[in-house]
Amino acid sequence: MNALGYGRSDLADIAAAQMRKLIHVSNLFATGPELELAGKIIAAAAPGDSHASFEAVHFGNSGSEANETAIKYARLYAKTRRGAGHHRLIAFSNSFHGRTMGSLSLTANPAYREPFEPLIPGSEILQFNDVPALEKAMDGTVAAVMIEPVQGEGGLNIVSGDFAKALNSLCRKYDVLLIADEVQTGLGRCGSLYASGIVGLEPDMITLAKPMAGGLPLSAVLVPEKVNDLLKPGHHATTFGGGPVTTAVASAVWDILNEPAFMAETRRKGELLESLLAAEIKETGMKGEVLGAGLLRGFRFHDDKYDGVWCSRIIGEARNEGLIILKTGADVLRLAPPLVISDKELKEGVNLLFKVIKKNL
């Protein structure tokens, strides 16, 4: 959320200035900050060699809302182009796309799903990075495939090159919309504006949220012309999404994140964090691996002893020492520091974490 750190007076000043001008207006009208931000997003290069040409940005308030919107648009596109019955939605094991009904239907974790079943009909969870399973499932009845380039909550698994290639090819073959959920991975977190380009995905739609407005609630769906042309008044709306205050702040955040020097520093820090974790794992004498990309990193030890219960204990003890980390997947400790973190702070954080870990080996 706070990719640019906490207590940013520059962003607070922008929000305050905009609030003195205009806090809210009906969604029947566009505002200057909203149009400015949308223009910047559209002008930015598409990830990789994407075949999609993004024509519009549809704002919302959260990542779940962005994914829900993308699902709706995909079903509208498939029904309009191919008729009723072409509504299947595909996601993957260990995925997390949100907790509203549509996004939850594409979230794999049974603990989130089961209390609210039955979920959206036609939703399917396939094995992540399994090309044969994907080939078997794909046909013209599929409306969309939704995938995270790096699975933020599911263990920091990265889309393989072969899987990305298969996804791109099969989605084009069957005119299926490929949706990249970049709520956790986008906007510099993995060392690039979009992580899709890093792994080779060529999405038709991209969803963004968490760090977008410096801690204020804002999300976005990047929409291609072929989808945007089908939308009519009433198909989708939001009361507060894309409001003048959040978009004014987000425009400033966007400018910072898109500075080439800033993004280069983010990549360098990601490499530093990876090397620090690898060195500490080696020093323990345990077998383990560093996962993730950029400044979305984690690690696990290859020993059943160090399971989710052990991870929870480490998280609690680290918090008592002043370090906030999380668990992702079954047994991965995750670190996602602000992108503005210093080398000194990275080293201090990793040292503190492994001080706690070494007491619990």
Per-residue pLDDT at 308: 97
Extract the tokens encoding 166. 């298969």
CA–CA separation, 180 and 159 (whole Å): 11
Q: What is the CATH number of domain 261-355?
A: 3.90.1150.10
- Residue 98 has a pLDDT of 98
Strands ordered across the beta sheet of 177-181: 54-60, 219-224, 205-208, 177-181, 142-147, 88-92, 123-126
**Cα–Cα distance measured from residue 165 to residue 174, given in angstroms and rounded to the nearest whole number:** 15
Torsion, Cα of 96, 97, 103, 104 (10° steps): 20
Q: What is the pLDDT of residue 222?
A: 97
Position 143, amino acid: A
Name the residue among 78, 97, 95 with its Cα closest to residue 86: 78
Q: Which run of H or of E encompasses 19?
A: helix 9-21
pLDDT at 49: 46
Query: In whole angstroms, how far apart are CA 230 and each of 40, 158, 213, 227?
Result: 23, 33, 28, 6
Active site residues: 96, 181, 210
CA distance 147 to 311: 26
Tell me the mean pLDDT per 10 residues along the chain, length 361: 93 98 95 97 69 85 98 98 96 98 98 97 98 98 99 98 98 98 98 95 97 97 95 93 98 96 98 98 96 98 96 98 97 98 98 98 92
Is domain 9-257 annotated with CATH 3.40.640.10?
yes
Q: How is the chain split into domains, by residue range?
A: 9-257, 261-355
Which strand (E) or helix (H) includes residue 37? helix 32-43
Q: Is the peptide bond before 118 cis (omega within 30 degrees of 0)?
A: yes
φ/ψ of 247, rounded to 5, equals -75, -30
Strands (E), the chain: 54-60, 88-92, 123-126, 142-147, 177-181, 205-208, 219-224, 288-293, 296-301, 326-328, 332-335
Q: Are 229 and 73 in contact (CB under 8 A)?
A: no
Nearest C-alpha neighbor of 134 from the set 93, 96, 106, 102: 93
